[in-house]
């Protein structure tokens, strides 16, 4: 076959098929690309709820630090791994869980644990601040890098700062000094705490089962 246009047409058609089938079709699919929140008849609430403003800022911090390089946000369905048994979620994650996220970072590599429901698993802001400042404090042996650059070590003047992070271990500040969280770390922790799916969806099965 020496016909340039014919070869070109074949290539065009092949690429167009996967583009139409996977990209375009899914995007216009009302049950996938067009998914809206679910109205829970019992409580009268729509889920998933919108993310709080600070958490939205935190998503940008999560994105710029590249957390998704090591952390996934997806609980695989039962029978596919042991994510539920591991306590990473009470049910599988479904497409609707993500519709409030401006950037969906389900991730593809678990160098660290899954974070789909970390806000439910560890609902303590202080823990997250400690963990970001020095992962060794709460998780000895962790290979997560310290994010101490998100914090400031400064001299205590009068009363301690309300944003003070109590830190033990190697990275503890000297006497008279304190570790204080920045706006970025507060936003990131707000985002961590917003990561949870404490509601049922018809397509996901009940969380009580």
Partner 1 sequence: MSDTSNQPTADPKVSGATEGVGRSAIDQSIRIPVLVLAGAGLLWLVWGTVLALIASFKLHTPGFFGEIEWLTYGRVMPASVNALVYGWGVNAALAVTIWLMARLSRSELRHGGILITAAIFWNAGVDVGHWGILIGYSTSVEWLEMPAYVTPLLLVAYIMMGVWGVLVFRYRRNPHTYVSQWFLLAALFSFPWIYSVAQIMLVFAPVRGTVQAVINAWYVQNLIWLWFTPIGLAAAYYFIPKVLGRPIHSYPQAVLAFWSLIVVAGWSGMARLVGGPVPAWIISSGVVTGILLLIPIVITAINLHMTVMGNVREVWNSPTLRFVVFGGIAFTAAGLIGSITSLRTLGVTTQLTHFTSGLTHLGFYGFFTMVMFGSLYFVVPRLLDKEWPSASLISLHFWCCALGTAIVVGSLFIGGINQGLQMNDAGAYPEFIDIVRNTLPYLLSRTVGVILITLGQLAFFTSFVWILLRPRTGKVTDPTLFDSSSALKSFAP
Pick between residue 164 and residue 171 the one whose CB is nearest to partner 1.
171
**Least CB distance from residue 77 to partner 1, whole Å?**
5
Residues numbered 54-93 forming contacts with partner 1, rule: CB under 8 A: 62-70, 72, 74, 76-77, 79-82, 85-87, 92-93
Residues numbered 166-195 forming contacts with partner 1, rule: CB under 8 A: none
Residues numbered 24-43 forming contacts with partner 1, rule: CB under 8 A: 26-27, 29, 31-35
**Least CB distance from residue 123 to partner 1, whole Å?**
18
**Least CB distance from residue 44 to partner 1, whole Å?**
23
Instruction: List, in sequence order, every residue forming a beta bridge with 205; answer none if it has no partner.
Output: 201
**Least CB distance from residue 30 to partner 1, whole Å?**
11
Residues numbered 87-146 forming contacts with partner 1, rule: CB under 8 A: 87, 92-99, 101-113, 135, 139-146
**Least CB distance from residue 146 to partner 1, whole Å?**
6
Confirm or reject binding of residue 149 to partner 1 (CB under 8 A).
yes
Cβ pair 184, 150 in contact under 8 A: yes
Number of residues in contact with partner 1, rule: CB under 8 A? Answer: 77
Q: Which helix (H) or strand (E) holds 126?
A: helix 125-133
**Least CB distance from residue 207 to partner 1, whole Å?**
15
Pick between residue 61 and residue 193 the one whose CB is nearest to partner 1.
61
């Amino acid at each position: 076959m020496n016909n340039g246009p014919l070869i070109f047409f074949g290539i065009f058609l092949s690429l167009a098929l996967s583009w139409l089938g996977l990209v375009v079709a899914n995007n216009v699919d009302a049950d996938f690309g067009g998914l809206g929140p679910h109205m829970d008849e019992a409580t009268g609430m729509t889920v998933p709820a919108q993310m709080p403003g600070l958490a939205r800022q935190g998503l940008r911090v999560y994105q710029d630090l590249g957390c998704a390089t090591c952390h996934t946000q997806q609980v695989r369905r039962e029978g596919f791994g042991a994510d539920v048994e591991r306590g990473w979620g009470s049910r599988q994650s479904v497409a609707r869980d993500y519709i409030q996220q401006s950037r969906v970072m389900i991730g593809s590599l678990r160098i660290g644990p899954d974070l789909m429901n970390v806000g439910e698993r560890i609902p303590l802001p202080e823990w997250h601040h400690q963990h970001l400042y020095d992962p060794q404090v709460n998780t000895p042996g962790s290979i997560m890098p310290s994010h101490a650059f998100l914090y400031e070590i400064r001299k205590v003047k009068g009363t301690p700062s309300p944003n003070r992070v109590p830190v033990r271990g190697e990275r503890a500040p000297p006497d008279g000094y304190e570790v204080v969280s920045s706006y970025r770390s507060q936003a990131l922790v707000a985002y961590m705490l917003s990561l949870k799916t404490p509601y049922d969806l018809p397509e996901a099965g009940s969380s009580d089962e």
